[in-house]
């Protein structure tokens, strides 16, 4: 008799991790986001974008066709590369990009794999690991362009890590918790999304999200007119595909965190609703929709802005963004004292 709840628990958790909002949904979202990015850019740029693969549905399967092409392409291992690191780093980078997801709830009915009450802390900590593997990718390729790309990644990592942490700290001070569930509950109780409570922190977070996922105008590590393909110059086949998909995974994670911390999470769905539909599905849809809108806005930037230079990006990180993030923390402290 005790077996049945265990089985239900297992199935629900497996569903949670693998199907919704886990890997399957992520893959669908990433594939659709790449398609959407290309379509938005095409609309701005007076052209069609992906069209000829599955013409009846407007070329929506183009990304899947690309994925298949990457899967069956020949993989080339450069002679001078550090082969172990060369082979391992993209996979590790991809995995660590996905890992924050186990700490990010997309609904009030949330059985964390590691119930800790520290989910914000863990997810942010895991986000900061991915760039280290990006640096290893560039180092192991034995290519000067990749190497310069990884150096740029390192510079940017250092200059934008602190604002990221500070902008999250600003929200933690207000929510008085390190867990996502109470943070969303706080926004629900006060009927105020975080972006209104502390807009400066939201601004800093969104800038850092653009930076850390390499969207324009901070597409500096992959600047193709200077560095060919940046970190992934020497890669081919599925490894290249993984490398190209990782920033989109990161973008998804960042957008999820943004919608939880700043956009009220699953609001307007109540935290007290229960059941598979009301407790898991609807809040998940609400959060993912918000994250998707954020992502669509961020990928739209490609059509508007060229890229900054490395020194300009680093300087703006140390000159402006870090002061903004400190101001955001001060604003939060004042608000926490007053309210």
Partner 1 sequence: MILKLNEGVFNIEDVANLELSGDRQIELQIGPSHPGSGHMRIKVTLDGDIITRVDPDIGFVHRTSEWLSERREFIKAIPIVERIMLPDTVHANLSYILALEKILDIEPPPRAQYLRSLAAEINRITSHLYGIGIFGIFLGSSTVYMWAFGDREPFIDLMEALTGARITNSYIVPGGVRWEMPKGFKEKAESTLQYMEKRLNDYNDIWAKNPVVEARTINVGVISSLDAIKLGIVGPNLRASGVDFDTRKDSPYAAYSQLDFEIPKMENGDSYDRLLIRIEEIKQSMRIIRQILKDIPDGKIIADGIYSQLNPVMKKVYEQNQRAMFPAFFLNMRPPSGESTARVEAGRGEIFFYLNTDGNKYPNRFRWVTPSFRNLPFFTKVAVGHRLADLPTIYGSIDYFPPEADR
Binding part of the chain for partner 1, among 57-65, 144-152, 191-199, 320-328 by CB under 8 A, reads 144-152
Binding part of the chain for partner 1, among 29-37, 44-52, 106-114, 265-273 by CB under 8 A, reads 44-52
Contacts of 320 (CB under 8 A, 6+ apart): none
The answer to whether 235 contacts partner 1 (rule: CB under 8 A) is: no
Select from 231, 236, 119, 238 the least CA-distant residue to 182: 119
Least Å distance between CB 140 and partner 1? 17
Least Å distance between CB 303 and partner 1? 5
Among 86, 94, 205, 216, binds partner 1 (CB under 8 A): 216
Select from 136, 35, 150, 36 the least CA-distant residue to 82: 136
The answer to whether 257 contacts partner 1 (rule: CB under 8 A) is: no
Binding part of the chain for partner 1, among 26-34, 128-136, 211-219, 247-255 by CB under 8 A, reads 211-219
Note the Cα 323 to chain centre separation in Å.
24
Select from 67, 90, 33 the least CA-distant residue to 215: 33
What secondary structure, in 3-state letters, does 169-209 show?
A: HHHHHHHCCCCHHHHHHHHHHHCCCHHHHCHHHHHHHHHHH
Contact 152, 219 (CB under 8 A): no
Among 31, 127, 136, 148, binds partner 1 (CB under 8 A): 148
Binding part of the chain for partner 1, among 19-27, 39-47, 70-78, 258-266 by CB under 8 A, reads 39-47
Among 310, 321, 329, 331, binds partner 1 (CB under 8 A): 310
Token code pair at residue 324? 């903004």
Count residues binding partner 1 (CB under 8 A). 28
Q: Return d(Cα 207, Cα 82) in angstroms, integer.
A: 34
The answer to whether 48 contacts partner 1 (rule: CB under 8 A) is: no
The answer to whether 203 contacts partner 1 (rule: CB under 8 A) is: no
Q: Return d(Cα 81, Cα 91) in angstroms, integer.
A: 16
Least Å distance between CB 318 and partner 1? 14
164-173 core/surface letters (b: 16 or more CB in 10 A; e: else): bbbbbbbbbb
**Residue ranges in 316-335 that form contacts with partner 1 under rule CB under 8 A:** none
Q: Return d(Cα 302, Cα 198) in angstroms, integer.
A: 27
Go through the chain and tell me how many residues it has.
Answer: 339
Among 106, 170, 173, 223, binds partner 1 (CB under 8 A): 223
Least Å distance between CB 309 and partner 1? 4
Binding part of the chain for partner 1, among 40-48, 72-80, 88-96, 284-292 by CB under 8 A, reads 40-48
Q: Give the nearer residue to partner 1 in terms of CB position, either 220 or 287.
A: 220
The answer to whether 10 contacts partner 1 (rule: CB under 8 A) is: no
Q: Return d(Cα 219, Cα 153) in angstroms, integer.
A: 10
Q: Return d(Cα 225, Cα 200) in angstroms, integer.
A: 34
Q: Which residue has the tokens 């004042």?
A: 334
Q: Give the nearer residue to partner 1 in terms of CB position, either 272 or 309.
A: 309
Upper half-sphere CA count for residue 303 (Cβ side, 13 Å) = 18
Least Å distance between CB 220 and partner 1? 8
Q: Give the nearer residue to partner 1 in terms of CB position, either 12 or 226.
A: 226
Residues at the contact surface with partner 1, assessed by CB under 8 A = 41, 44-47, 144-145, 148, 216-217, 219-220, 223-226, 228, 302-312
């Amino acid at each position: 008799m005790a077996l049945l709840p265990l089985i239900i628990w297992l199935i629900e958790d497996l569903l949670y991790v693998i199907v919704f909002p886990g890997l399957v949904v992520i893959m669908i979202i990433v594939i659709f986001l790449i398609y959407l990015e290309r379509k938005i850019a095409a609309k701005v740029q007076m052209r069609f974008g992906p069209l000829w693969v599955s013409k009846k549905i407007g070329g929506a399967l183009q990304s899947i066709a690309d994925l298949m092409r990457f899967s069956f392409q020949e993989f080339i291992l450069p002679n001078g590369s550090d082969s172990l690191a060369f082979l391992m780093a993209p996979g590790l980078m991809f995995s660590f990009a996905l890992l924050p997801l186990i700490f990010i709830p997309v609904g009030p009915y949330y059985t964390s794999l590691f119930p800790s009450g520290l989910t914000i802390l863990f997810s942010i900590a895991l986000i900061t690991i991915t760039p280290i593997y990006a640096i290893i990718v560039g180092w192991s390729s034995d290519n000067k362009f990749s190497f310069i790309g990884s150096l740029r990644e390192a510079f940017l990592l250092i200059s934008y890590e602190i604002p990221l942490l500070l902008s999250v700290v600003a929200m933690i001070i207000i929510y008085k918790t390190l867990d996502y569930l109470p943070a969303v509950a706080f926004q629900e109780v006060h009927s105020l999304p975080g972006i209104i409570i502390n807009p400066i922190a939201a601004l800093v977070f969104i800038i850092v999200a653009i930076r850390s996922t390499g969207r324009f105008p901070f597409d500096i590590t992959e600047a193709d007119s200077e560095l060919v393909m940046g970190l992934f110059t020497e890669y081919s086949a599925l490894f290249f595909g993984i490398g190209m998909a990782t920033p989109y995974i990161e973008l998804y994670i960042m957008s999820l965190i943004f919608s939880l911390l700043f956009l009220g999470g699953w609001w307007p769905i109540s935290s007290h609703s229960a059941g598979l539909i009301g407790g898991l599905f609807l809040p998940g849809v609400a959060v993912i929709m918000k994250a998707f809108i954020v992502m669509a806005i961020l990928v739209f930037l490609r059509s508007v802005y060229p890229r900054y230079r490395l020194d300009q990006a680093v300087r703006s990180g140390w000159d402006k963004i870090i002061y903004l993030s400190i101001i955001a923390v001060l604003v939060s402290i004042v608000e926490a004292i007053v309210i």
